[in-house]
A and B are shown apart, each in its own frame.
Chain A
Amino acid sequence: RKEVEQDPGPFNVPEGATVAFNCTYSNSASQSFFWYRQDCRKEPKLLMSVYSSGNEDGRFTAQLNRASQYISLLIRDSKLSDSATYLCVVNLPGDYKLSFGAGTTVTVRA
């Protein structure tokens, strides 16, 4: 079983729509959670960390469900520029290695 699993999508949504997707992780000891964004043929960039109580950053909302071992990302009022692959990333306590999911592709159309 993969450490981090994501629905690859693609999620095709019109501008202004809301899109949400999840990621599951296998190691219950995981402590740190992140969403990275990766544009086509570019490097991953940190979008946001995911905190236990859930957190927002503008139009982006991240949630963590430890009991079911998943995290989610919701994008409100989608923009064309939100088109990208979103990588779910998980980290164990004190570990300097990250476990990456394969990514969920979102395409926002005009």
Chain B
Amino acid sequence: DAMVIQNPRYQVTQFGKPVTLSCSQTLNHNVMYWYQQKSSQAPKLLFHYYDKDFNNEADTPDNFQSRRPNTSFCFLDIRSPGLGDAAMYLCATSSKDRGFQPQHFGDGTRLSIL
């Protein structure tokens, strides 16, 4: 059974139209991460939540926001998507009790921009 679930698997949006990607977990892990991965590149960490504490990477554009209303759910909001934001978005979780390793990934959401 999937333990990190991302919805939707595929998302198409228009240039400049806000979009929200969701992630839920049944693992009760402390940390939830959002990564952006483009073709043939390493996953790039956008931000992560340690419990309720939000940690933004220095080079994450302001266009990207996140919300974590409870332990199980985390959302990625892209306020005004540009063509360069087309990518796979990966959610992952890890647990302090396990030394934060390994990270468990969801299936990803592939975002296309028209």
Cβ contact of B45, chosen from A34, A42, A45, A97, cutoff 8 A: A97
- Binding-face segment, A12-20, A52-60, A98-106: A98-106
Chain B residues whose C-beta falls within 8 Å of the C-beta of A43 in the assembled complex: 90, 105-108
Q: For residues 33 through 48 of chain A, which have their beta carbon under 8 Å from a beta carbon of chain B?
A: 34, 41-46
Cβ contact of A44, chosen from B31, B40, B90, B94, cutoff 8 A: B90
Query: Contact: A34 with B108, CB < 8 Å?
Result: no
Report if A101-B101 is in contact (Cβ < 8 Å); known contacts: A43-B107, A96-B48, A96-B94: no
Chain B residues whose C-beta falls within 8 Å of the C-beta of A32 in the assembled complex: 101
Size class of A's contact patch?
A: 20 to 34
**Total chain B interface residues with beta-carbon distance under 8 A:** 22
> When chains A and B are docked, how far (Å) is the Cα of A2 from the Cα of B106?
26
Rounded to whole Å, the gap between the CB of A83 and the closest CB of chain B is 16
Chain B residues whose C-beta falls within 8 Å of the C-beta of A34 in the assembled complex: 101-102
Cβ contact of B42, chosen from A42, A49, A97, A100, cutoff 8 A: A100
> When chains A and B are docked, how far (Å) is the Cα of A97 from the Cα of B49?
11
Residue A62 CB within 8 A of the other chain: no
Query: Contact: B45 with A102, CB < 8 Å?
Result: no
Chain A residues whose C-beta falls within 8 Å of the C-beta of B45 in the assembled complex: 97-98
Rounded to whole Å, the gap between the CB of B56 and the closest CB of chain A is 12
Q: For residues 79 through 110 of chain A, which have their beta carbon under 8 Å from a beta carbon of chain B?
A: 87, 91, 95-98, 100-103
Residue A4 CB within 8 A of the other chain: yes
Residue of A nearest to B41 (CB): A102
Which chain B residues have a beta carbon within 8 Å of chain A's beta carbons?
A: 31, 33, 40-43, 45, 48, 50, 88, 90, 94, 96, 100-103, 105-108, 110
